Amino acid sequence: MRIQPSILSADFANLESEFASISNADGIHVDVMDGHFVPNMTFGLPVVKRMQEITTLPLDVHLMIENPDFWAVEYARLGVFSVTVHFEACADLRSLIAKIRAEGARVGVAIKPGTPVSVLVPYLADLDQVLVMSVEPGFGGQSFIPESISKIAELKGLLVERGFATWLQVDGGISDLNIAGVAAAGADTFVAGSAVFGAKDRNAMISRLRDLALGGVH
């Protein structure tokens, strides 16, 4: 069970100390938004480059941008741990997956709440992780969409059937109130923004989330 705090909820003026406050995390989820694919805008390549330079934690880059066919490879080239692109935004997903992997990054594909799990089936064998968005991408602090549970369970079933060790990641509205149920449905990698950064003791919250997720499958 992996917990990846989303820095979308962090203080962007103090990233170094914000990173230090989540040292217990399995990775840092980095939300790149362009104001086009999603209404919100965050930061781009130069900022992620600096993040990669100042932390030893693996960066999990989630690209909510148009034209990932061009940009995703540039992020992979920074040496980040993983790069996830949105199915809905890609023109040639198969070749993009190969190009990202050629740069040494793990490859993920995300689907929005309205996109069915079935679109991922042709690509499953080539992916290191799949991301089920459990809110409409764009903003932190939204409520978990309950219908996501059945999508997670369906995707988990497809992965188990094929014997794939692909990570199943969930992003949006994850907290200590629902993580056990989401883990029970089959997720193993959890993005949590407001739940972690809003906690008094962030590392304690990360441990708590991990324990609750483990409890969900036992």
Residues at the site binding ligand DX5, with contacts judged by CB under 6 A: 6, 8-9, 29, 31, 62, 135, 137-142, 171-174, 191-195
Note whether 112 binds Zn ion by CB under 5 A.
Answer: no
Task: Determine phi and psi for 57, rounding to 5 degrees.
Answer: -70, 145
Note whether 171 binds Zn ion by CB under 5 A.
Answer: yes
Token pair, residue 182, equals 């989401």
Note whether 188 binds Zn ion by CB under 5 A.
Answer: no
The number of residues in the chain equals: 218
Note whether 128 binds Zn ion by CB under 5 A.
Answer: no
Note whether 86 binds Zn ion by CB under 5 A.
Answer: no
171 is catalytic: yes
Q: Which of 62, 156, 202, 210 binds Zn ion (CB under 5 A)?
A: 62
Token pair, residue 20, equals 């230090």
Token pair, residue 109, equals 């594909």
CB-count exposure of residue 205 (10 Å: 0-12, 13-18, 19+): buried
Catalytic pick from 31, 34, 128, 188? 31
Contacts with 64 (C-beta within 8 Å, 6 or more apart), sequence order: 31, 32, 33, 34, 37, 38, 86, 137, 138
Looking at beta carbons only, is 92 or 147 nearer to ligand DX5? 147
Q: How far is the CB of 55 from Zn ion (least distance, A)?
A: 17
CB-count exposure of residue 40 (10 Å: 0-12, 13-18, 19+): middle
Catalytic pick from 26, 34, 171, 188? 171
Looking at beta carbons only, is 105 or 170 nearer to ligand DX5? 170
Among ligand DX5, Zn ion, none, what binds residue 194 when CB lies within 5 to 8 Å by partner kind? ligand DX5
Looking at the annotation, which residues are catalytic?
31, 171
